[in-house]
Structure 1
Amino acid sequence: MKNIINWIKKLPGWVFALLLFGTLYLTGLHTEVIGQVQRIILATGFIKPKVEEINENTTPGGSSAPTLVADYNFHLRSLTGEEASLESLRGKVIFMNFWATWCPPCIAEMPNIQSLYEKVHSDNIAFVMISLDQDPAKAQKFIKKRNFTFPVYTPNGPLPAAYETQVIPTTFVISPEGQIVARKDGMADYDNQEFREFMQKMTQPDKILSKVNMPKLLFSQEAKSYLAN
């Protein structure tokens, strides 16, 4: 036994790291661990939503249709099997997030999205959390285990070109007028005062929205123009 202990002590550190990662991977816990680490990073407040600049005349498919126009012809299915559509939310501010249970950054940002949901969701602000898991039951188990209460769906048909993305999580904010005024590829901490204010002000067209205290690097030029109108 002593010889075995001495032999183990002589093993290089990378072997232990490899064994640890292998164990986490085989048990499926690696996603949780990485997600928790990234959640700690989010808690620092350094990663806030940074909207990608969108060219009004270029879609992901290369056509000439404006990318800033939301496509409401997006059919969904709830985790309990009910059919739904983005069309039913037309006229509302929509916070739409694409995620998956196997995505550590998605797991990292979900607690702050839940917190945002609890603070701002209303008859005028809708949350559409879209799981890209092949097995909806897995997503349902994940949501239930963490007591998340925001609405979760899966795509019930083709993904519209307006929402195509190469990474997840990806988040879109759609205005009541049907424009994609914000987009974030990758994780972010959305539960901050400036973002909450942005969401809530969009529901009040009679207010002077140009006076919203907009976070630096948060909104595209199109979003700033929208708020100024």
Structure 2
Amino acid sequence: MLKKMLILGTLLFSGLALASGELSGPAPDFTLKSRDGKNIRLSDLRGQVVMLNFWASWCGPCRQEMPILDDLYKRYGKAGFTLLGVNVEQDSSLGEKYLKDTPVNFPILWDPTSKVSQMYNVDAMPSTVMIDRDGNMRYLHRGYKPGYEKDYKKQIKELIRE
């Protein structure tokens, strides 16, 4: 799985983007340990719009996107939006090292066994899933290229208004 992610991350970094689109169905529930040591359960966030962003420190597009995601979190957090950054690396110290240089305000969760990544069929880095207030998956973004944040903003606003 990690080898597959490395290859896809490299492809994405070289400028190739994978498809994005609409989703339907309930978001698989999970509990992961957060950066501050607390367990975070997705179903506890029901009632909020949730953006799940699967990332890794070795992923160039992830690094490019991280400050943009932090801006979205700060901008829409008081309107019923939250963002969970799910680090997929087996060694969380690599993610910690990256976050020391690029701090973010949104919760970072650790998925060292890729259990949650597999539940969401993550096959590209980064991968982003938008979840509505009822806990249903609505949008999927595979990869990141500059400009995707326009889609993120549009979708966040739409889901907050529902």
Distance 2:19 2:73 in 1: 19
So what's the TM-score if we normalise by structure 2?
0.76
Asked if residue 110 in structure 1 is aligned to residue 66 in structure 2, the reply is yes
Offset, 1:102: 1.0
Tell me the residue number matched to 1:93. 49
- Is the radius of gyration larger for structure 1 or structure 2? 1
Tell me the residue number matched to 2:31. 75
Please show how residues 1-229 of structure 1 align to structure 2 within 5 Å. 51-52=20-21, 68-72=25-29, 74-122=30-78, 124-155=80-111, 158-159=115-116, 162-188=119-145, 189-192=147-150, 195-205=152-162
Distance 2:33 2:79 in 1: 20
SS in structure 2 at match of 1:84: strand
Structure with higher RCO (Cα < 8 A, 6+ apart): 2
8 Å CA contact 1:99–1:170 kept in 2: the answer is yes
8 Å CA contact 2:52–2:84 kept in 1: the answer is yes
Offset, 1:162: 4.7
Distance 2:112 2:38 in 1: 10
Gaps of 5+ in 2: 1-9
Q: 1:167 to 1:122 in 2, by over 3 A?
A: same
Distance 1:81 1:106 in 2: 23
Offset, 1:123: 5.8
Distance 1:149 1:131 in 2: 15
SS in structure 1 at match of 2:83: strand
Gaps of 5+ in 1: 1-34, 42-46, 55-66, 206-229
Given residue 187 of structure 1, which amino acid in structure 2 is its aligned partner? Y
Q: 1:68 to 1:53 in 2, by over 3 A?
A: same
- The total of aligned residue pairs comes to 148
User: Identity rate of aligned residues, in percent?
Assistant: 25
